[in-house]
Amino acid sequence: MSVATINFKTKPRIDFEPFPRISLCHQPTPIEEMPRLTAHLNGPKLFIKRDDCTGLATGGNKTRKLEFLMGDALRVDADMVVTQGAVQSNHVRQTAAAACRLGLDCHVLLERRVPDRDPAYEETGNVFLDKLFGVTYEFRPDGLDMNAEAEAVTERLRAQGRRPYFIPGGGSNAIGALGYASCAQEIADQCAETGQAFQWLVMGTGSSGTQAGLVAGFHVLGYDLPVMGVSVRQPHERQVTAVHATTEKTLEKLGGTSIEKEKILVDDGYVGEGYGLPAETTLEAIHLTARQEGILLDPVYSAKGMAGLIGLIRRGFFSPDDNVLFLHTGGSTSLFAYEDQILGSMG
């Protein structure tokens, strides 16, 4: 059954009532056309799901995950949250803001994952906002198992008498992924209301939870919308394995049936030299989207996702009459940490 012919009034809805949840997110976020970028690329009709507009601390995709993660933290009577991320982590910034909203402390581990950065990299952008939200933090060198490091710190704090709640990097576990199963429901509802059909959804994929939540949500709904994840860090097979594992755990929570690994779609051709290192295609995506649509992408996630979308169009991957939805995961705050590189690439 095609997307266009699904009658969502007779299809199952996802029941999120069993899961603790708090309201942090402006939703539904809009779906907007990108007519100038469409014309510039001479491609299929492009749309954008504005999850940069979720509202919490300049917005971003982690806010949806945090509704469920913070709900679970309150369920167990936590007095603080502990998480981890790269130095310019969007997840850390939104987690810190959510903790402020709920009166919880927030302790974070920041991984020096991106090499050869100016010292200001650890002071501006998301790090500046982390400090504004009052986080306590520790740095770690690149290459460690950061979730294991953060869990060890969680246990240290517990031994000191605190009631910490551990949130994995990116909020990417089955609880966090419920936020994007909810987004899948939201997209389906928006399509039902407007009559708009999409043939593809394209997004940047990193810690796995956002793509996994969408795939799980669409699978439970019977919504035939393939999700192409453009990897921002890991090679194809490793990313597919990670996303599939989180998808399966999320489906188990939702009471859904298992999904074949082949349903997890990843393009790893736009990683460049590594995580947080903008490739030429990343910088082009930032410039094009800003100049054609007045939309800001970040150099770590959303611009690599958009670079993938642009590359797929240029390779003729889509049919000319396809409607393609791009998920904007936010993160423009980190642009300030890359100012010299971005401005220096402008022709």
* Active-site amino acid positions: 89
Q: In what order do the strands lie in the sheet with 136-141?
A: 136-141, 105-112, 80-86, 164-166
CA–CA separation, 345 and 343 (whole Å)? 5
Q: How many CB atoms lie within 10 A of CB 193?
A: 10
Report the amino acid identity of residue 86: A
CA–CA separation, 41 and 56 (whole Å)? 32
Residue from 235, 238, 217, 241 nearest 227 by CA: 217
Helix (H) or strand (E) run with residue 265 in it? strand 265-267
Residue from 287, 330, 307 nearest 171 by CA: 330
What distances in angstroms separate CA 141 from CA 14, 86, 182, 240, 326, one per listed residue?
41, 10, 35, 26, 33
CA–CA separation, 323 and 32 (whole Å)? 12
DSSP H helices in the chain: 35-41, 62-75, 90-102, 126-132, 146-159, 174-194, 209-221, 236-254, 280-293, 302-314, 339-344
Helix (H) or strand (E) run with residue 266 in it? strand 265-267
CA–CA separation, 295 and 303 (whole Å)? 11
Cα 314 → chain centroid:
24
Helix (H, G, I), strand (E, B) or coil at 178: helix
